[in-house]
Amino acid sequence: MDNRDDIKYCGKTKKYCYTSEAKAQRSLNAYEQIKRVYHCDHCDCWHTTKISGGKAFELGIIEAEERRSISPKRIRKEIRKLKNKLKE
Ligand SMILES: [Zn+2]
């Protein structure tokens, strides 16, 4: 018996494995949060991916913003603010 249609998860990405691009594409059309399908060399199947905060960071969309807001000076300022709140 051919078990290729059994539910299978990738050992590398832990994602659900689609046995064909067409199948992955179908779920892309069905779920708005799925943004992209791609082929995985590890399991020789297709995975879907959505743009998350982490992905946006990876793509450099929010990286600049994060870098600006998290500086030692900023952290010290935040701590001071919190300490003042505790005193109140
Ligand atoms: Zn995979």
Sign of CA dihedral 22, 27, 33, 39: negative
- Specify the pLDDT at position 54: 59
How far does the centroid of ligand 1 lie from the alpha carbon of residue 18, in Å? 9
How far does the centroid of ligand 1 lie from the alpha carbon of residue 40, in Å? 4
How far does the centroid of ligand 1 lie from the alpha carbon of residue 51, in Å? 18
Which residues of the chain fall below pLDDT 70? 1-6, 51-70
- Specify the pLDDT at position 62: 43
Put simply, whether the predicted model's pTM sits higher than 0.85 gets the answer no
How far does the centroid of ligand 1 lie from the alpha carbon of residue 82, in Å? 45
- Spatial separation of the C-alpha atoms in residues 70 and 62, rounded to whole Å: 12
- Spatial separation of the C-alpha atoms in residues 77 and 86, rounded to whole Å: 14
- Specify the pLDDT at position 58: 55
Spatial contact of 17 and 46, defined as CB atoms under 8 Å apart = yes
How far does the centroid of ligand 1 lie from the alpha carbon of residue 14, in Å? 7
